[in-house]
Structure 1
Amino acid sequence: MFVWGEEDLNTEQSNSIRENGSVYLVACPGSGKTRTLTYKIAKELTELNSTKTWIVAITYTNRAADEIKERIELLGVDISQLWIGTIHSFCLEWVIKPYGAQHPSLEFGYRVIDSYDSEQLLDELCKPYSRQKITYYDCQYFFTTQGITYSCDPKKREIIRSIINSYHEILLSRNQIDFEQILYFAHQLIISNSTISKTLSNLFSFLLIDEFQDTREIQYSIFGEVIKKSNSRLNAFIVGDPNQAIFGSLGGYAITIEELNQISGQTFKLLGLTKNYRSSSKIVSHFSNYKVFDSDIVAAGEHSNYPTLVSYVDNVSKQDLASHLAEIIKYHISVENIDESEVCIIAPWWIHIASITRALSSQLPEYSFNGPGLTPFFRDEENFWYKLSKLILTEPSPSLYTRRIRWASEILEMLQNYDVSTINLKPKLLLRFINSLHLEIDDGLQHLADAFELISQELKVDFKSIAGLKEHYDAFFENAKKRIEKISKENVEYAGSIDNFRNVFKRRNGITVSTIHGIKGAEFDVVLAYGLLQGIVPHFNDKDPHSAHKLLYVIGSRARKHLHLISETGRGTNFYPKWPTNILAEHVFEYDDPIPFISQLN
C-alpha cells in the first residue's frame, strides 16, 4: 500500500486522497492540486487487486499527463496499469480504435487530421464569403450531446452552418476526422452500443479527471455512461476550480455536483483544497474578489507575507503602453533581481501580442521574449514523426531521462501497431542511438529528415513503405513547411533553424508573452496584464455574465509576488472608445502607485 509522510501533504489533501468513494474536489489556485491528484493515483495503483484492470486519468494537456507520470514514478510506484492522457487520446484509444468499425462514418478507416489541416480546409471554404467577412476564426464549433454549437456571431450562423456541413462532407469523403469529431463519434458509439460502456466499466478500476471546469458536456456524458454501467463499482475523483472556467466558448463548463450525481448514478462527496501556496496574501485578496463559486482561499505559502505590489492604471495610452510595461519589467528585474523567465505579460487576444512583443524587444534588447506562434509544427501526439521529433530535439539530460525513455517506449509501441517487429529493440537502445546522432545541419526540416533516415537505417525498417507511417510523414513535413512559411512572413527574424525547432521542447526561458487562455495553469513571480477593457474582457460576444470575473481571477492567480493591471486608453474608435472593464473599475482595492517604484530606475 502506498503511504506518505505528514510533511508530504496537508490535512485537506490527505483527507481527499483517503476518501474511498467518489470525490468532487474544488481546488483553489496554488493548492497542490497536481500533487494531490498524483498521490491519489499512486494510492489507487498500489491497491489494485487485478492485473487486468486500469486506473484511468484524464488531463487537459499531454504535458500535464507527462508531469504526473514522472511524479508517480519518482514515488516508486509501478505505472504499468495506469492510462493517462487527454480526452481526445482517451476516446481514440479506448473507443474509436477498438469499436470505430461499428460507426458508418468510420467503417472504412479514418485518419485524424491536425489543426493545421483543418484550418487550411476551412480557409478555402470561407473564401466565397469574403464579402460577408467570413474567416476561419468564425468557424469555431464544438459538439454537445444535442448536436453542433457554433461560437460565431449569430448573424453569421447560417453561413457558418453551411460551411461546416461542407467541411464535414469533405472529411467524410477523404476518410478523415478532426479533433471535434473524435468526441462526437466516441459519444455516438457509446450511446448506441451499451456493451462498450459496460466493457470499459469492467476494465477500469478508478477514474480521475483533472481540470473539470474545462470539461465539455459531451465528455461528462461519455464518462457518466461508463460510471453508470459499473453499478456503483467504479468510483471517480474529479478535481478543478469552477472559478477558472474560462473555456466556455469551446464548450467547457464546471459541472455542478448535483448534475454529476445525476449523469453518473453515483453520489459524489464535495471536498475542497483551500490553502494557496503560490501567491502573497495581497494577491490572494485581490483575485478572491472575482470568485463566482463561493470557496475559501487562504495564502499559506512562503510568499504569503511578501511585500507585494498590486497596481492598476487606466490612464496610460495605447501609444505609451510598451514604455510603461518596459519600465515595470526593468524595475523588477534590475532592482529586485527577479529572473526574466519569472515575468509574464498577458493580453486578452492574440492580435494584441505580436505588436507589443516587437515593441518591447526593441525597448528592452537586453532581455529575451518567449512569444507565441513560433512553433514550426503542431503538437500532434497521434503522429509518429512528431513523437520521434520530440526524442530527437530534446537534449539528453538526467532530468529528462525518465520522460525520454517513456517517449522511446511509446515510439516502439506505435511501430508494433504498424506490424513492425521491435522484439530486439529496447527503449534504452533506441534512446542511446538517437543521443549519438550529431548532424551538422542548420535547417530544421532537413535536420529532422536526415535524422529520420538514419534511424530508419539503424532499425532496418523502410518507414516510407508502410502506408500509415508514410501518410504521417507526408502530413508532418507538408504542414511544417506551410507553417514555417507563415511564421517567416510574420517574423522576419525566424529562420526555421534547428535551434528554432529545439526551442519547442525547451524549458521556459525569457519573458513570457501570452493570452489569458494560453497562460492558464502557469505561474510567475511578476504578472502584467493589459487590454482589460469592456468588449475585450469580457469578449463582446460572450454571453456568460461572469466571464470577466473568471478571466480576472485567472490573471491574478498566476502571480506569486507582483501583479500589474492596465486598462489603456486609445483602443476602439473616436466615436466608440473602449472603457475599462466594468467590474475591475468598480473594484475597491488599495492599489499601489507604479510611478514611485519605477522612478528608482532613474
Structure 2
Amino acid sequence: MARNYTLHTAHEPSNRIDYKAELNEQQHAAVTSPPGQALVIAGAGSGKTRTLTYRVAWLLDNGIQPESILLLTFTNKAAREMQERVQALVTQDASRIWGGTFHSIGNRLLRYNAERLGYRKGFSIMDREDQKDLMETVLGSSGIDTTTYRFPKAEVLGDIFSLADNTLCSVKEIIHTRYPYFEEVASGIIKMRKLYQEKKRETNCMDFDDLLALTVQLLEENEDLLERYRRQFEFVLVDEYQDTNSLQCRMVELLTGPQGNLMVVGDDAQSIYSWRGADVTNILEFDKHWPHARVHKIEVNYRSVPEVLNLANATIAMNRGQIPKNLQPARPSKGMLPALVALDSSSAQASFVAQRILELMDEGVDVNEIAVLYRAHFHSMEIQMELTQRGIPFQITSGLRFFEQAHVKDVAAFMKFAVNRQDEVSFMRMVRLCEGIGNVSAAKLWQEWLKSDASKAETMPCTFSEVLVQMKVPKKAKTTWDQFAFTLDELIDKEGRPVTPPMMIRSITEGVYEDYMKAKFKNYEQRQQDLEQLSNFSDRFTDPLEFLSQLSLLSGVDTDNNPAQQQQDRDAVTLTTGHQAKGLEWSVVFAVWLADGMFPHKRAIDEGGDSALEEERRLFYVTVTRAKDELYLTYPVINHQARDGDIMMRPSRFIADLPKDLVEVWNVKSGW
C-alpha cells in the first residue's frame, strides 16, 4: 500500500506586505481565502486586478513556488500587468509564474507534448486568414458539390467549427441552432470538418481553437500528463471567469482536479460574449461544479460617483439570472444625476454630443477622459461627421488591428515557412505575391516543392534557391520568383537553421517584399514603418518559433496592446462599442442610440428571448459603469430611414424601466 507524504518547502523571507492596510475588508477576505475552491464576484470598478495580484503575492508569501501557480487570463496585457504588479510586491521572481491567456498556456503545453497527438513540436499556428486559405484549399479538393446548394464560405466554416470547439457541441448541433439555413448541406460541412482536421495534421499546423481543444484532448487522453500538471499547478487562478466558454471551463477543471486549489474571479453582470461561445452559467452555476467553494463578494466601487452606481444597480437588478450584488461607492457625490436626453433626430443627437464635448473641454475636462459608447459601430457615423466638422479630435478603436494587417501577415508567412517547410498555407501566401502566380500555379508549385528533399528534412540540406529556381514558373513571374527564392536563402544560416527574427524581417523587407509593397500599396511608407515597428517588437525574441507563436496569439485574441493601437493613443475623444469598452473607464461617457431596436438590439427583442435580453442589459450595465463622473444617456425620437422614411423611436426599455429619480431629464431645444 502506497503512502502519501507531503514535502514542505522552506519559506522564503516574508515580503512584508501589510495586507489588511492595503486592501479593503472584502478584498482581504478573498486574498487570504484558505486552500480549496473559491468564487470571487468582483463588481465593476472594485479592484479585481488588485485582488488577484495580492492573492498571488499572498501565495508566494506562504511558501508556494512561482512555477506552482497557474494564472489564466483573456489577454496577454492582463497577464503581463498582473505579473508586473506582483513583481513590484514580492522578492521572488514573478516571471516564473505560469501566467498567460488560455491559448498561450495551451500553446506551451502542446509545444512540450505535441507528438502525443500526432504533431511535431515545430507546428505552425494559423491565424484567421491562414485558416481561411487552408480551408479553401481543402474545399477545392474535397469533391463537395458547392454549386447545387448555397455552401458556406471558408470564413463561415471557420465560425461553425470554432463554435463547435468552444461550446463542446457537434457541428450538426451548431448548424441546427445557429445556422439553420445550412441544414441542407450539413453533411458536406461535417465532411469538410473531417478533411480540414486531417489537413492540419498533414501540414503540421494548428488553428487558434486547436490550442484549447487539443490541450483538453491531450489531458483527457494522457493520465500521466494530467497528474503531472495537477501536481505542478498547486494553485490555479482564473481572471474574467464570466467570459469563459465550455472548452475553457473544461480545461480549468482538468488542470485543477476535483480536490485542487482553484480561485476564479469575475462578474456575472459583465458577461457579454455569448455570441462567441462564452457561457454565463459557468459562473452562475459554479457552486454546482464545486459544491464546497467559498463565495466572496467585492462590492466597493472605486471608479464611479454614487449617482452613476445607483443607476447601474437599478439596471442590473432587473435581471433574473444573476448573483445578487449591490455596488457601494467609495467616492463622494458630485451632485449631478445622469442626464437623460431625447433628441429630435440622429443628427440632433450628434450635434448635442459634439456641443457638450466642447463645453466639457472648455470646463477643463481632458479630451482623453471623454468617450462615446454605442451598441453597434454604424451608430457612430453621424457623430464622426459632427466631430470632424467641429474640429474635435477623436479615435475609433474598431477596425483592423496591427497584427491582422496584410503586410504584417505577408512577412509572417515567410518566417513561418522558414521554420516549418510543410506549411502549405504560408507557402501559398508567399508565392502568390509574385506577379503572374495565382491559386492554380501556386498549387502546382507546392506539389513540386513537396517532391524535394528540402521539404522533409529536419534542417535545410541546401539553400531554398537551389530547389526553387529549378521550378517552372509563369514567364511573368520569373524575375520576382528568383528574387523571392534568394530572399528565403537569407532566412536560414549556413547550418540550415532559421536566423533570428529581426534578421529575418530585415531580409524580407529589404528583399522581394519591399518592391512588392511599392508596387502594391499607395501608403507604402506607412506600411514600411509598420514593419519597422514589427522588427523592433521581434527584437525581444531570439527564437523565431517563439516570436511566431506570440504573433499568432496576439492576432487571435489580444487586441488591446499592439503597436498600432499605441500610436493611436493621442489627445482625442474615444468612440467605441460597449463590448470594446469593457475594462476601460472615462470621466465622462455618452451612451448614445438608447432606443429599442438599437440598444437592446432588434434581434435580441425579436428572436433572442429572455436570455438574450438579459445579456443586452448586462451590456448596458457595462456601458454605464465606464463613467467615473458624468453620464449622458441619449436617443433620437425620430430615425430617418431611406426605405421607410421617418420612424418614431421608443426609448430603450433599459432607461424606460428606471426609477425617475435616478436621472435628470434634459429638454433640448434649438438655439436658432
| Same-fold call, TM cutoff 0.5 | yes
Structure 1 residues 553 and 448: alpha-carbon distance in aligned structure 2, compared to 1, 3 A threshold: closer
Cross-structure match for 1:582: 653
Secondary structure, counterpart of 1:570 in structure 2? strand
Amino acid in structure 2 at the alignment position of 1:30: G
Cα deviation for residue 203 of structure 1 reads 0.7
Distance in 1 between the 2:283 and 2:540 partners? 52
Q: Aligned ranges for residues 112-511 of structure 1 at < 5 Å?
A: 112-118=125-131, 136=155, 140-141=159-160, 142=163, 143=165, 144-148=167-171, 150=174, 154-158=179-183, 162=188, 166=192, 169-170=195-196, 172-174=198-200, 175=203, 176-228=205-257, 232=259, 234-255=260-281, 259-263=285-289, 267-291=292-316, 292=319, 293-302=322-331, 304-334=332-362, 336-353=363-380, 355-356=381-382, 358-373=384-399, 375-378=401-404, 443-447=525-529, 449=531, 503-504=565-566, 507=569, 509-511=571-573
Stretches of structure 2 lacking an aligned partner (at least 5 in a row): 1-13, 413-495, 501-522, 556-561
Distance in 2 between the 1:209 and 1:554 partners? 20
Matched-pair identity in %: 22
- Which protein shows a greater Rg? 2
Amino acid in structure 2 at the alignment position of 1:192: E
Distance in 2 between the 1:367 and 1:451 partners? 25
Deviation digits for residues 140-170 of structure 1 (CA, Å, limit 9, x no counterpart): 3422234356498543343785558636734
Tell me which of 579, 593, 598 is aligned to 2:665: 593
Deviation digits for residues 56-101 of structure 1 (CA, Å, limit 9, x no counterpart): 111121111121111112223430431111111111112x222222
Tell me which of 107, 114, 127 is aligned to 1:92: 107
Cross-structure match for 1:492: none
Tell me which of 57, 73, 88 is aligned to 1:74: 88
Cα deviation for residue 340 of structure 1 reads 0.9
Q: Is the 8 A contact 1:59 1:86 kept in 2?
A: yes
Deviation digits for residues 148-199 of structure 1 (CA, Å, limit 9, x no counterpart): 5649854334378555863673464253332223222222222222323211
Distance in 2 between the 1:584 and 1:133 partners? 42
Using structure 2 for the length normalisation, give the TM-score: 0.66
Tell me, yes or no, if structure 1 residue 15 matches structure 2 residue 29.
Answer: yes
Structure 1 residues 453 and 504: alpha-carbon distance in aligned structure 2, compared to 1, 3 A threshold: closer
- Tell me the matched-pair count: 516
Distance in 2 between the 1:532 and 1:319 partners? 14
Structure 1 residues 208 and 506: alpha-carbon distance in aligned structure 2, compared to 1, 3 A threshold: farther
Stretches of structure 1 lacking an aligned partner (at least 5 in a row): 387-417, 423-440, 480-499
Distance in 1 between the 2:79 and 2:608 partners? 30
Distance in 1 between the 2:391 and 2:148 partners? 40
Q: Is the 8 A contact 1:315 1:567 kept in 2?
A: yes
Secondary structure, counterpart of 2:247 in structure 1? helix
Distance in 1 between the 2:197 and 2:32 partners? 47
Structure 1 stretch 109-118 or stretch 200-209: which is displaced more? 109-118
Amino acid in structure 2 at the alignment position of 1:556: V
Deviation digits for residues 250-296 of structure 1 (CA, Å, limit 9, x no counterpart): 121234668435545x6210110011111111110111122232433
Cross-structure match for 1:567: 635
Cross-structure match for 1:40: 55
Cross-structure match for 1:556: 624
Cα deviation for residue 571 of structure 1 reads 6.3
Structure 1 residues 101 and 290: alpha-carbon distance in aligned structure 2, compared to 1, 3 A threshold: farther
Secondary structure, counterpart of 1:560 in structure 2? strand
Aligned-pair Cα RMSD in Å:
4.4
Structure 1 residues 290 and 459: alpha-carbon distance in aligned structure 2, compared to 1, 3 A threshold: closer
Distance in 2 between the 1:459 and 1:305 partners? 47
Cross-structure match for 1:404: none
Cα deviation for residue 445 of structure 1 reads 3.7
Amino acid in structure 1 at the alignment position of 2:286: L
Secondary structure, counterpart of 1:546 in structure 2? helix
Secondary structure, counterpart of 1:562 in structure 2? strand
Cross-structure match for 2:72: 58
Structure 1 stretch 117-126 or stretch 194-203: which is displaced more? 117-126
Q: Is the 8 A contact 2:242 2:279 kept in 1?
A: yes
Secondary structure, counterpart of 1:89 in structure 2? helix
Q: Is the 8 A contact 1:548 1:583 kept in 2?
A: no
Cα deviation for residue 9 of structure 1 reads 0.8
Distance in 2 between the 1:299 and 1:460 partners? 45
Deviation digits for residues 415-457 of structure 1 (CA, Å, limit 9, x no counterpart): xxx98899xxxxxxxxxxxxxxxxxx9924434656888999x
